[in-house]
């Protein structure tokens, strides 16, 4: 079955540490996205990528970095500069950035601070 | 369980009732709307979508209504089941040819057996 796989499901970060969240899709989608979800809030866009080797900042990119070296993969690094990283992180993909079609989501990674 | 449902508007219904979840959107130029369902500890799951040139669309047990005059979207779930318990999000695409949707806060639906 095609889908989006996020790993790990739970992740713990120590002070001053960078951590990387994995996102892999086998849907052959061009566009990929990273969202942050906090309790009682909607999804906020961190970064998105329209195509391989291209990515753009979303609304809350500070303290995060991404890469898009392969179509299937869009890892997110939460750097030590992100002072409030505790949240539920969701990766999504869509056929293309332009056009009217829904996003497909992974099952998220919950990041907590040790 | 996960805490994504905390402090959200909540709708409680009895099993078998019809549920209506409402969403006010912000941009009169939005041209595409989506409803997602998010179960505890999981990612959002697509339910149904509607384009701005329509005012109603039906799926299996679900209907989405769009009122562009008052910028209002609703999701109707017929014969609600315990498995429908989840947080429901609406999302709007603000048009201009780019698909970066804006998500609402969500509504928590609780179905009592």
User: Which residues 8-67 of B have a C-beta within 8 angstroms of A?
Assistant: 8, 31-32, 34, 36, 41-46, 49, 51
What pLDDT is stored for residue B7 in this prediction? 62
What pLDDT is stored for residue B2 in this prediction? 36
User: Which residues 46-65 of A have a C-beta within 8 angstroms of B?
Assistant: 48, 58
Mutate to test the interface with A, among B2, B43, B45 (most CBs of A within 10 A): B43
pLDDT in tens, B18-77: 999 999 998 888 889 999 999 999 999 999 999 999 999 999 999 999 999 999 999 999
Task: Please choose, from the candidates B103, B91, B85, the residue with its C-alpha nearest in 3D space to the C-alpha of residue B12.
Answer: B85
Mean pLDDT score across all residues of chain B? 89
Burial class, A9, CB count within 10 angstroms (exposed 0-12 / middle 13-18 / buried 19+): exposed
> Is A27 part of the contact surface with chain B (CB cutoff 8 Å)?
no
Residue B5, pLDDT > 60, answer no
What pLDDT is stored for residue A72 in this prediction? 97
What pLDDT is stored for residue A100 in this prediction? 78
What pLDDT is stored for residue B96 in this prediction? 65
Residue B98 confidence class, pLDDT cut points 50, 70, 90? low
Identify all chain B residues contacting A96, using CB atoms and an 8 Å cutoff: 99
Among A42, A45, A100, select the one facing B32 at the smallest CB separation: A100
Q: Degrees (nearest 5) of the Cα angle A5, B85, A31?
A: 30
For residue B81, give both structure tokens. Answer: 């089941």
Residue B4, pLDDT > 70, answer no
The answer to whether B4 touches A39, Cβ cutoff 8 Å, is yes
What pLDDT is stored for residue B97 in this prediction? 61
What pLDDT is stored for residue B1 in this prediction? 34
Among B99, B104, B105, select the one facing A94 at the smallest CB separation: B99
């Amino acid at each position: 079955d095609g889908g989006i796989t996020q790993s790990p499901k739970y992740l713990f970060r120590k002070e001053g540490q960078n951590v990387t969240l994995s996102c892999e899709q086998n849907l052959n989608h061009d566009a990929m996205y990273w969202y942050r979800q906090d309790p009682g809030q909607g999804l906020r866009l961190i970064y998105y990528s329209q195509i391989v080797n291209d990515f753009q900042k979303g609304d809350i990119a500070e303290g995060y970095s991404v890469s898009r070296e392969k179509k299937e993969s869009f890892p997110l690094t939460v750097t030590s500069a992100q002072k409030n990283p505790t949240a539920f992180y969701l990766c999504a993909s869509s056929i293309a950035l332009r056009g009217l079609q829904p996003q497909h989501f992974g099952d998220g990674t919950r990041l907590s601070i040790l | 369980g996960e805490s994504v449902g905390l402090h959200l508007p909540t709708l409680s219904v009895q099993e078998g009732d019809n549920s209506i979840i409402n969403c006010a959107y912000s941009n009169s130029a939005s041209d595409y709307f989506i409803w997602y369902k998010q179960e505890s500890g999981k990612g959002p799951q697509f339910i149904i979508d509607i384009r701005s040139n329509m005012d109603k669309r039906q799926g299996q047990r679900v209907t989405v209504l769009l009122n562009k005059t008052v910028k209002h979207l609703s999701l109707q779930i017929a014969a609600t089941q315990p498995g429908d318990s989840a947080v429901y999000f609406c999302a709007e695409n603000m048009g201009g040819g780019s698909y970066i949707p804006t998500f609402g806060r969500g509504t928590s639906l609780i179905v009592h057996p």
